[in-house]
Amino acid sequence: MFTFAELKSATRNFRPDTMLGEGGFGRVFKGWVDEKTYAPTKVSVGIPVAVKKSNPESEQGLKEWQSEVKFLGKFTHPNLVKLLGYCWEDKQFLLVYEYMQKGSLENHLFRVGAEPLTWEIRLKIAIGAARGLAFLHTSEKTVIYRDFKSSNVLLDGDYNAKLSDFGLAKLGPSNGDSHVTTRIVGTYGYAAPEYIATGK
C-alpha cells in the first residue's frame, strides 16, 4: 500500500510531462520506485511504474478502483498487467502498475505516423491477448473481462501483450449457468452484439 505522498514524489507531483495517457478512470503518470522497497526514487533510478490517478469528477471512481484491486491483486499471469500496489486516501484512489514500455496496442494501430507492426509482431500480440483472456475464462473463478479493446492491450519492450483495466470485470457464473446482466457495460463498438441486445 502506497501513501499519496509517496506517489506524488515518485511522479514529480504528477507533473504534466510524466503523463502517459488518460482514460475514463483518470490520468496515468510515469513514476520511479526502488526495485525492492518500492520507495519513490529519482528519475531513472530503480524501476519505472505507471501510476493511475482517479479523476475526482469521474463516475467510474471507487467501484472500478475496487474491481481493479480485487482482480489484479488476486491473479498473476504473463499476459495480465501486474498490479504493484494501490493508494486510497480521502477521495484519492490510485493504482500502481508495472510500466509497459511500448504503450497500448491502440497507439501502434491508430496514431498518426506510427510505424506499422510486422505480421510476426501482430500475431505475437494477438496470441498474447488471447492467452490472457483464456486464463481469465478458465481460472478457478471464471472472469468476464467486459472491456477487451486495443487501448486495454498494453505492450512491454518485447511486444508481449498484457491485458489491463479490470474496472469493468466481474466474476462469471458458476455450475454452467449463463450470466445475465441488467447493466450493460463496456465500450460501444467493441462489445459483442448479442451481449448488447440481450445482456447475456
Q: Give yes or no: residues 92 and 117 share one domain.
A: no
Using the 3D structure, point to which of 54, 72, 98 is the last residue of a domain: 98
Cβ count near 88 (within 10 Å) = 17
Which residues are identified as catalytic?
Answer: 147
Same domain, 79 and 153: no
What's 44-80 look like in SS3? CCCEEEEEEEECCCCCCHHHHHHHHHHHHCCCCCCCE
The residue segments making up the domain with residue 77 are 4-98
**Do both 107 and 47 map to the same domain?**
no
What string of pLDDT tens digits covers the 200 residues of the chain?
999 999 999 999 999 999 998 877 889 999 999 999 999 999 999 999 999 998 877 666 778 888 888 888 888 999 999 999 999 998 889 999 999 999 999 999 999 998 999 999 999 999 999 999 999 999 887 888 888 999 999 999 999 999 998 888 888 776 666 666 666 777 777 777 777 788 77
Note whether 60 and 118 are same-domain residues.
no
Extract the C-alpha cell encoding 111. Answer: 496514431
Last residue of a domain, one of 80, 98, 116: 98
Helices then strands, each counted (H, E), the chain? 5, 10
80 and 28, same structural domain? yes
The backbone torsions φ and ψ at residue 163, rounded to the nearest 5 degrees and listed phi first, read -75, 140
Which residue among 71, 98, 125 closes a domain? Answer: 98
Determine the Cα–Cα distance for residues 154 and 161; give it in Å rounded to an integer.
6
Binding-site residues for ATP? 53
Query: Are 108 and 47 members of one domain?
Result: no
Domains: count for the chain: 2
